[in-house]
Amino acid sequence: MILHCVFIRFKSAATTSEKQAIFEAIADLKDVFPGIIEVKYGQNVSSEGLNGGFLDGFIVKLETVEARDEYLAHPQHMEVGERLIGLTDGGAAGLLVFDMAA
């Protein structure tokens, strides 16, 4: 099992509805891609102050490394990823991706 963790620095101009729409688009990938087990998303609620400006994020739980690799190359994932990058502060620099075997 792989936890595909993505932490986001949204542009200050990104609205709540834009954020919700992109998170829903990410969650909807579960219906398109059979290797996804679960999708969770939300705001960082840590009180440690070590978030580096990454105040939102999501985790996609995938069955295998191979499923993760197929997910990353899937056209709908790529489309949603481009939309997400358009909402981030600094484009791809506004994302932190961390994949962990679980």
Cα 14 to Cα 31: distance, rounded to the nearest angstrom: 26
pLDDT of residue 11: 97
Taking the CA atoms of 34, 38, 42 and 44 in sequence, report the sign of the dihedral they define.
negative
- What is the chain's pLDDT, residue by residue, as a tens digit (102 residues)? 999 999 999 999 999 999 999 999 999 999 999 999 999 999 999 999 999 999 999 999 999 999 999 999 999 999 999 999 999 999 999 999 999 998
How many domains does the chain fold into? 1
Residue 58 included in any domain = no
Q: Structure pTM?
A: 0.94
pLDDT of residue 20: 97
Q: Is residue 40 part of a domain?
A: yes
Give a yes or no: residue 75 inside a domain. yes
| Domain hosting residue 71, numbered range | 15-48+65-93
